[in-house]
Every structure is written in C-alpha cells, then in structure tokens.
A and B are shown apart, each in its own frame.
Chain A
Amino acid sequence: MLFNSIHFLLFFPLVVFIYYIIPQKLKNGWLLITSYYFYMSWNPKYILLIMTSTVITYISGLLLSKIREKSETKETSLCKLVVAGSFVTNIGILFFFKYFLFSAGLFTRLVGLLGIQVVAPEIDIILPVGISFYTFQALSYTMDVYRGEIYAEKNFLKYALFVSFFPQLVAGPIERSKNLLKQLSVHHKFSYENFTNGVLLMIWGYFLKMVIADRVAIFVDTVYGDYETYGGMYILVATMLFAVQIYCDFAGYSIIAMGAARILGIKLMENFDAPYLSQSVAEFWRRWHISLTSWFKDYLYIPLGGSRKGKVRKYINKLIVFLVSGLWHGANLSFVFWGGLNGIYQIAEELLQKPKNNLLKLVKVNQNAISYKVLSSIITFVLVDFSWLFFRANGLRESFAIIRSIIRNYNPWILVDGSLYQCGLDNKNFCLLIVSILILLIADICKRKGIIIREVILKQDYWARCLIVSVSIVFILIFGVYGAQYDASSFIYFQF
C-alpha cells in the first residue's frame, strides 16, 4: 500500500478514527493489526519474515536482560552470543533475500576468472518491501539492550508494534527503541495540535513526492532509459534533476510518515535536514537519511573503533561504513561504488582541510561570507550529484557508459532551443517544476535559519490556516503526478 494510493487514503483515516475511539489498552493492538495489514497488502507471505525478525529480537532482548540480572556484569560471553545469534539470523534473512543472487553471481564471475566454471543458482527471489529498514530497526533494539541503554521490552505486542509501526515500516525513518518504544507506552489522547501538525507534514510530504519527485521522474526516466540518444547536456540536466527527485521522493516519504505518526500522537525522528545546502560532503551526510547514517555511526563506525584508533583507522572505518551503506542501498556494485565514492569524498575533505584553510587565508577569502557559503554548497552538490549518477544507473557498466555519453556529446544548445521539452515534460510542466523546486529551496533555507514554515502557518488566524490547507490539498491533487496516465510511482527507497 503506497502512501500515494487511494487504498492508503481510505485506510489511514479509518485507522485514526478507530484508534481514538477505542480504549487505551487496545490502541497498540489496533496499530499492530493495521501495521501488519499495511505490510501484507504487498505480499501476505512476507509477514512471516517480519514476525520472525520480531520474535528473534524480542527473545534476544529478554535473554540479555535475564543474563544480566544473574551475572550483574554488562558484557558476558553469553550476552555476546545472544547478540551474535540475533545479528546472524536477522542479517542471514536479509542476506538471503537481498544479496544471495548478487553474491552468487559475483562468486561465479570471480571463480570464472580463475578458469573454474560454476553455474549460478537460478531461483526467483522477490525482495520483501522494507526488509532493510525493519531489520536494522530490530537489530538496533538488540544492541541497545545489550549496551544497557534501554530495558528489554516485556510486552510482546508493544515490541512487535515497534518493529512494524506502519508509517515508517517500509522506508523509515529507522527508529530507535529509545524514541519509539518509549512513546508506545504513553497514553495517547487525541490532540488537535498533533493533528494539525501531522496534516501539514503530510501535505508537505505529498507535495514533495507527487508534485516534484514524480514529475522529475518522467524526465529522468526518459533520458536515463535511452542515454545513448540523450547524451551530453541531457544527461547532465537529468542527473541534476535526479538529485532533486531522490531527495523529494525519500524525504517526501519520511515526512508523510512523520505526519501520519504525529496524527497518531507519535513523534518520529527527522530524517532530512536541508541536505543540499550543506557546505561539505561530511555535512551532507549528517543531514541526509539521518536515521541510517546515525545507525551506521552507532552500530558500525563506533564498534569498529571510530576515530579513537588513529587517523588511518578512522579513514578505513569511514570507508567501510560507506561501502556497507552502499551495499545496504542495493545488491549491485554500482551502489558499492556510490558508497565508496562518498567515503572517499569525506576522507579527501579531511585531508585537504588544512591546505584549503591555508590557501583561503593566503588569498584572504572570508569563509563566513554568503558568497563563499553558496560556492561551497554548489561544489558539494556537484560532488554528491556526480555520485548519484552511479546510484541511478543500472549497474556499474552502464554508469561508465553514461559518463562516456556525457563527454562525447557536445550539445549545450539544448538548454535554450526547447529540446528539453521533448523528454516527457512540456514547457508548462517544466515551469511548474522549477517553481516547485524554488518553493522547496525557500523552505530549506528557512529551515536552516530556524524558521519552520509549518509553525508559521499554525500561528495564523483560523481562516488563513483553513485556506492554506485547502488550497495546498487541491494544488497537490491538480498538479501532482498520479492517476491513469501514470503508474502509481513507487517510492525509490522501497527497493532497499
């Protein structure tokens, strides 16, 4: 069930209505049933996977709690065994469904290079929606209990809901038990403030997804789908727009999820913080997919030693984290390359930091000037956007073919002769897209300046609030990309 489907628009109000009229003790049970229904609307069989993950991590939590009660020390070998068991089974399931065919193919090719012929297994595995998200969320719980940061949850229903809470089940934010599990224990009464905040968040999320991301997708898909015909400037424009698409698609989902959860009285963590205004790649990654980046930081980078074991180890750790992050995004070498590239960017940034500062001092460049900040943001965007090319292309080989197509085709005139309007979006749609992107840019700048537009709207008189909400909804319904002419565009991050 997609957030931008009629199914969800009927499902969600019903869930909310019943949620607020039933007694408190039934609320979590109701949310669990609806969350499972939400997940089963894709493929009912895969509910078994989420249940397995839930049961394993739930039991792991209880075992860790029991062992600690007896031994009174934090780290016993038995505790480590339980954590390892939880990780191995969960990562094992994830590996089988997401990486088995990829690994088998890679292995076949590698041994093929040695002259040994191995036939790769031919089995049809459909990647369960959101498996990477809920697996990581469940594993974070095991780690948090192991580290003693939270108590093991005894109420199975509440824990099962923590793993499967439908607004963020299939594409995050990857919540922490410290935040979400705690909120599931709180008494939830209907709050008008939560309701209005939630509605405004959802409207903003739908705007990002349906008006911007899905409109951009038409252009990007046309160009990337036939990159041999659309070379040079076409691909540069498409790659630039893909950066907008993936941001609006993913942030759009996260914001709708936050809004839906907020209406139910639950505050999810922010997943994006105006990332394209970052002045370095490192800053970009602190503001992009925050829930995943912080997960990797807490559960991979720090256990690897973080920055505590010298600079070389720090760089290696960083590279490992980004290579794994690439792999998390997809079972393809192009994702690994994309992750590696972002890791290298950050290492290079750190290595060049000192010489860069010295140079800027020498030529007397004011690093606080707006011009310098804008230039830094543009350079960061270009670097990040270049890496998106590997993310968007179908495989590493195609990525390099696309780069060749950019270099070999000289066609800057297409920017002014109207050729861009032949790639699925006419001039009116292009204008609408540019206006929408400007709205997004203004909203992000405001956010950086500490101005939350949602809060500004909520401070207005009731008639203005009503008008803004009504006009926004109708605006999205008119200018959004959906319906019979388009396949309901799935959210990009569902495949992860």
Chain B
Amino acid sequence: MRVRKVFYTLFTILMTLLLLFVSSKVLKRKYSDNEYRRFYKNSSDYEVLFFGPSVVHYSISPMQLWNDYGITSYNMANDSERLTMTYYNIINSLDYCSPKVIVVALDSMAWAGSKRDNTLKDHNFIDAVPLSTNKIREVKEVFEKNEFVEYLVPFTLYHSRWNELSKEDFEIDNNVMYGIEPQQGIFSMQTPTDDQYEESRFGKVEEEAEVLDKIIELCNNKDIELVFIYLPSGVRGGDQKLREYCSEYLADKEVPYLDMLYLDTIEYNRDFYDAGHTNVFGSQKVTDCIGDYLNSNYELTDYRENEDYCERWGNNYLEYKEKIRDMMSENQEEYDALAQ
C-alpha cells in the first residue's frame, strides 16, 4: 500500500513536470530560440563569433561571410547589450563553442553607466542560453536580485502569454539568418561629424575599460584571437573621444581595433534604416569590410571546400539569399534614386 502511494505521488509529480515542460515550450516567446537555436544545435561549426549591441545584430551577416569567404560564423549580438553582458555572453557561448576569432563591438561603451532600458531585449538573448552555472553567474552579476527567477525560469514571465498565442507559437521556425536581423527601410542623413560629442558621457567609459580587460584576459586564456570593432552609426558619430580612447587603450594592450565609423563604402544618406542602424543594404557593406579584414588577418578555414558544410550551409544560404533579395527589392528603387 505504501509503495503504491509513493508511486501515485511520484507519478503526479512527473505528470505535473511534463505538463509544465510542454506548456513552457508553447508559452515561451520564440524570438530568442529562433535567433540562437542554430548556434546551440551546431555549436562546433563556428570559427568566428560576433558580439555587441544592435549595431552588430543588424549588420553582420554570417551567411554572406560564408558565401563570400567560406567563413563559418554566428552573430551572437543582442539589442541594447551592455559591455558587461557581452562579457558574460562570451563566457556562456564558449561553453558550447571553441571559435578561432571573437569580434566585439565597442559601440555599447557609449551607454556606459546608463540603466538598461528594456528587460525584454535582455530576454531576447538569454532565454536561449541553456541553464548552466555560467548562466546563473551571468544572471547574478548582470541583473537585479528580484529578476533572478524571471531570467532563470522564464516561465514566470511568459505564463501570461496564454492570451496572445498564435500559430507561430506551435511551429518551429527554421531561421537561416545565423543571428543577424537585417532591417528594411531607408533613413537619409548627413555623414556624422566629430563635434557631436557629449562630454558628460565620457566619464563612465573608463570604468567600462575594466570589462574590456576581462574580455581580453578571457580570450587570451582560451587562446582565441580577439578583435574590437566600432561600427557605422549616425547617432554616435561624434563619439570621437570614446573612439580615440578605445584606440589608444587597445593599442597599449596590443589588441586589434577596427574603427569603421567612416567606412568609405558606407553612404549615410541611404545605408541606414534609422539614425543608429544600417539597413539591409548597409549591412552588406559592413559585412564585406569585416569579411575582408578577417580573411586577410587570420588563418580561417574556407569551408566551402568541405562537402558536409557545403551541403548544410549552402542550402541555408540559398534560403537566406532569397529572403534578403525580397527585402532589398522593396526598397531598391528608392535606394538607387539616392545614389550620389
């Protein structure tokens, strides 16, 4: 009798956990999984990883790098990502992958000291990270104490999505973007100048240098090449002191730094979808510049010669290319008309 009661209790617990597992899968916001699932699924594939805020997320295309240079990479960037979070995201990603090169954008240093602006954006990345001691460490270090549960058990946040479920919540999205989220639309603006700098923002940047040191140390310890970049953007065009500071600081540390703010191929009158981010046209130019830099400076394998990779990556590229073509065709006329 006693054994049967123990069995009933265990059966109930197991059934509850099973039901919870299924409902948490359905109720979860799918964005994070769709963006980063492929990374965790085939984590041994990647030789280059990109980290940073939205400027990276919207502009560096791993599929283009594959097609043009044979580089296998994943864009692990996330909107509004602070440098501290980038550091922990690198740690988490290295649990699954051993890349040859890590590329980190320093654009987020312009927000040094400012508060995180949107919790959901943080979920966009962290929800897909499998539970591990490093994830727990990240949540502890980056978020407020009262947010622990929300980030470690996202069901506590998403359970209330029951009234907004749609067809997409019951399907698995075969996302072939490898982390990039290219943007449609054209925002025309003047090329930024160096006199837009706000003096008050610079003070906190020096504090962020500690995080830079940690990232450098982490990559040195793991024997990974590290490149810092600064991407084209209209709103932070004037962060001259920040860029100078980074340039000097990283030169001292002997870490390569690629400042692309005034990249000669970028046209500020048509390569952006808003004042801060490149559109799908601009992202191709940025990716091309990065690809060229990586190809010239590092010994990366050209996986286009590998049959296995060719089949998987090649097929995904075709799908990716079609999507990009659709996106571009909508604005092609306007884009061409803005040619200088």
Contact = CB atoms under 8 A, between A and B. Distances in A.
Interface of A: 6, 192, 426, 428-429, 462, 465-467, 469-471, 473-474, 477-485
Nearest to B12: A466
Given A477-B159, A478-B27, A470 B150 contact: no
Given A465-B12, A478-B159, A484-B157, 7 more contacts: A6-B149, A428-B162, A428-B163, A466-B12, A469-B16, A478-B27, A483-B160
B162 A483 contact: no
Contacts of A481: 160
Contacts of B8: 462, 465-466
Interface in B145-159: 147, 149-150, 155-157, 159
Nearest to B159: A478
B302 to A, nearest CB: 46
A477 B159 CA distance: 7
B151 to A, nearest CB: 9
14 contacts: A428-B162, A465-B12, A470-B12, A470-B15, A470-B19, A477-B20, A477-B155, A477-B159, A480-B159, A483-B149, A483-B156, A483-B157, A484-B119, A484-B156
Contact of A483 (B4, B159, B163): B159
B5 interface: yes
Contacts of B155: 477
Given A462-B8, A466-B8, A474 B156 contact: no
A467 B18 CA distance: 12
Contacts of A479: 159, 162
A185 B250 CA distance: 72
Contact of A478 (B23, B149, B150): B23
Nearest to A473: B16
Contacts of B159: 477-480, 482-483
Contacts of A474: 16, 19-20, 23
B12 A426 contact: no
Contacts of B147: 484
Contact of A466 (B11, B27, B156): B11
Interface string B137-177: 00000000001011000011101101100000000000000
Q: Is the interface of B mostly helix, strand, loop or mixed?
A: helix
A6 B16 CA distance: 17
A428 B164 CA distance: 9
A482 B12 contact: no
B163 A482 contact: no
A457 to B, nearest CB: 12
A467 B15 contact: yes
A470 B16 contact: yes
The 10 closest A-B pairs by CB, nearest first: A483-B156, A428-B163, A470-B15, A484-B150, A470-B16, A466-B12, A474-B19, A484-B157, A192-B5, A462-B8
Nearest to B17: A470
Contacts of B4: 462
Contacts of A469: 12, 16
A478 B157 CA distance: 10
Contacts of B16: 469-470, 473-474
Nearest to A469: B12
A473 B155 CA distance: 14
Contacts of A470: 12, 15-16, 19
A428 B163 CA distance: 6
A14 B16 CA distance: 19
Interface string B202-244: 0000000000000000000000000000000000000000000
Contacts of A473: 16
Contacts of B11: 462, 466
Contacts of B5: 192
A470 B18 CA distance: 9
Contacts of A426: 163
A468 B12 CA distance: 9
Nearest to B147: A484
A478 B156 contact: no
A400 B152 CA distance: 47
Nearest to A479: B162
Given A6-B149, A465-B8, A429 B156 contact: no
A121 B231 CA distance: 61
A426 B162 CA distance: 12
Contacts of B12: 465-466, 469-470
Contacts of A429: 163
Contacts of A478: 23, 27, 159, 162
Interface string B109-125: 00000000001000000
Nearest to A474: B19
Nearest to B155: A477
